[in-house]
Structure 1
Amino acid sequence: MTLRAAAFALAAFGLTIIGSDTAVAEFEIQESGVEKGEVELEYRGAVHWGFPRGEEAEEGEEGGTFEEEEEGEFLRQSHDFEIQYGITERWMISTSVGTDEPLEDNYGVSGVEVELQYEIVEREGNGLGLAFTGGYGFATRGGEADEIEFGPIVELASGKFLLTLNPLFGAQVGEHRETDGLGFEYGWRAQYNFAKKWAFGAEMFGEIEDLSNAGSFDDQQHSIGPTLFYMPGGDDDDNGDDDERKVGGPHEMEVSLNVGVQFGLTDFTSDTALKFQGSLGF
């Protein structure tokens, strides 16, 4: 009953945001673990407030070019819906549908991504977990480029502390690409399990669209903030990792929820964002 209630709350939250007039965008931290035969459904969303450069342009800053350059860079809201499946003990495949509402456009589907992940080092309790991921994103809006993305997923655990790193490289492909070189996107999470089912932590996200023309720090997207985690199936001795998770047999249903706030560190980032994520694995 607890799991059903959590799943219902997750769905209700997503529908509430989609039907609201507030603003949102997704933030993702990928984990290194892979479990054969496991299916995981995940929702990611975030609501954004404060768009400094857009406000300056609306107030009549000279030069229409400035406003055109910034158009579409900010999101009022976005929602990602993903499904993952463990093909083998090491390989996992996932597909996701991204939806969003840019500052100067209507809400709609922004892209579809297919991704493969290979677990190189399995983390069992404390220690290192390492995986490699690669994916292809299909743009669904006219005039936007497809994208490829790849990079490592690193986990470092010690007692009740878990550090997860997602340094990823990407590139635009196709006739609509606007950059010729690689881009860089990162996310990291420092998490401390203070109770059996609860944890708190800090998360930071950032993006450099083109490494060959990165510009100044203030021209990039960077944000940081606190996050609260609720894990009904969590264990405060091993950061929620089950030592028997790869033993054959039916998979237990697991729910994981987290909510956090991100604060923009640059003019190219929204002032604040409320983020919410939830997953259901079985």
Structure 2
Amino acid sequence: MRYHLNVLRFAQRLALTVAASGLAAFGLTFVTTDTAVAEFEIQESGVEKGEVELEYRGAVHWGFPRRERESAEEGEGGGALDEEEEGEFLRQSHDIELQWSVTDRWMLSTALSADEPLDEDFDVSSVEFEPQYELVERDGNGFGLAFLGAYGFATRGGEADEIEFGPIVELASGRALLTTNTFFTSQVGEHRETDGLGFEYGWRAQYGVAKKWGIGVEMFGEIEDLSNAGSFNDQQHSIGPTLFFNPGGDDDDDDNGNGNGNVNDKVAGPAKAEFSMNVGVQFGLTDLTSDTALKFQGGLEF
């Protein structure tokens, strides 16, 4: 009987993995037009030696931000603007990231970002390398802290490289988990358009409603140049709900990601999963943010 259950569980995991791969492939072949939009990523603080994870992040956006709409109205993208107004215009962007935990503290990542701006072909827009160091390990309830640094190489002519650095913080209590990413950015090279540091943030508040399911709220924002930040409406900010699904792990395993082993106090998240995914919607809060975005993230750990 136990043998048959194990076979069934393996089949379920295989089917979910195939489904996730299919969704990722579909996203990569779905062609749209517009400028690149940063992906919706919440980086976690945990590092486990020897762990390798392949992650896909994709998003489809509706509605021009004000700056792009004004540019289109001036004749730089009028056709795309007409399509958007008729409900035919969609925007998308994609990230594929590979993470490798070299030690119990150090993790190295590399990511490819792809999109299709107005009047350009679909192509890779940047290649990024990220070292991450875990300063405080979170074991179940409590506090986790890591520091991330990144260098992004722009692959299109006329665009600047970018560096990024800052802390990753996790706070867990029972079924609840709060994760924050607060990063400073700076453009590098002859094509830089800003003089000072920029700022990007993302936070996620999630709650485990069942052993493998969680719900939450995520918010993301960006200030391109802190020395000329302007008003809130001159920045990019969005917020929205997210649904988490963590099918990895055995049904008789009481640890569901926060490490305390209590079936009634668990965080539904990808920390211990072989495969995990989340789907969410983001609503733009400012004129420089897309009106609505549908986001998908899937990860497969080895």
TM-score strictly above 0.5: yes
Return the offset for 1:21.
Answer: 4.0
Residue 6 of structure 1 aligns with an amino acid whose one-letter code is: L
- Counterpart CA distance in 1 for 2:245 and 2:206 is 12
Q: Name the TM-score, length of structure 2 as normaliser.
A: 0.82
Give me the whole-angstrom Cα distance separating, in 2, the residues matched to 1:255 and 1:33: 16
Provide closer, same or farther for how the CA distance between residues 237 and 104 of structure 1 changes in structure 2, counting only shifts above 3 A: farther
Selected match of 2:46 from 30, 33, 42:
33
Letter in 1 for 2:286: T
Structure 1 contact 162–239 (Cα < 8 Å) conserved: no
Residue 181 in 1 paired to residue 196 in 2?
yes
**Among residues 16, 21, 29, which one is paired with 1:19 in the alignment?**
29
Aligned residues: 265
Q: 1:241 aligns with which of 241, 248, 258?
A: 258
Q: How far apart, in 2, do the equivalents of 1:165 and 1:104 lie?
A: 36
Which amino acid in 2 is paired with 1:254?
E
Structure 2 counterpart of 1:71: none
> Residues 35-54 of structure 1: CA distance to partner in whole angstroms, max 9, x if unpaired?
00010000001000011523
Q: How far, CA to CA, are the matches of 2:72 and 2:159 in structure 1?
A: 24
Which residue, out of 227, 232, 242, partners 2:247? 232
Residues of 2 paired with 1:50 and 1:11: CA distance?
28
- The residue number in structure 1 matching 2:145 is 130
Q: Where do 5+ consecutive residues of structure 2 fail to align?
A: 1-10, 79-89, 262-271
Could you tell me whether the CA contact under 8 Å between 2:247 and 2:273 is conserved in 1?
Answer: no
Tell me: CA distance 1:131–1:151, structure 2 relative to 1, closer, same or farther (3 Å). same
For the structure 1 residues 123 and 201, does the alpha-carbon distance in structure 2 shift closer, same or farther, using more than 3 Å as the test?
A: same
Q: Which of the pair is proportionally richer in strand?
A: 1
Tell me the equivalent position of 2:14.
4
8 Å contact 2:31–2:122 — kept in the other structure? no
Q: Which amino acid aligns with 1:270?
A: S
CA offset at residue 210 of structure 1? 0.4
- Per-residue CA distance 1:182-210 (angstroms, 9 max, x = gap): 00000000000000000000000000000
Which of the two has greater helix per residue? 2
Q: Which residue type is aligned with residue 82 of structure 1?
A: E
Cα distance in 2 between the residues matched to 1:164 and 1:261: 18
CA deviation profile, 1:57-111 (whole Å, cap 9, x unmatched): 5446xxx79x9xxxxxxx9211100101111110000111111122453311000
* Distance of 2:294 and 2:119 partners within structure 1: 20
The two structures have a TM-score, normalised by structure 1, of: 0.87
Q: Which amino acid aligns with 1:86?
A: S
Which aligned pairs between 1:135-150 and structure 2 lie closer than 5 A? 135-150=150-165
Of 116, 122, 144, the match for 2:131: 116
Structure 1 unpaired stretches of 5+: 68-74, 245-251
Which residue does 2:291 correspond to in 1? 271
Per the alignment, residue 151 of structure 1 pairs with 166
Cα deviation per residue 1:205-258 (whole Å; 9 max; x = unaligned)? 0000000011111111100000000001369976613469xxxxxxx8711100
User: How far has the Cα of 1:275 moved from its partner?
Assistant: 0.1
Percent of residue pairs identical = 70
Rounded to whole Å, the distance in 1 between the matches of 2:145 and 2:175 is 19
Equivalent residues in 2 for 1:39-78, closer than 5 Å: 39-53=52-66, 54-59=68-73, 76-78=91-93
What's 1:203 paired with? 218
What is the root-mean-square deviation in Å for CA atoms of aligned residues? 2.5
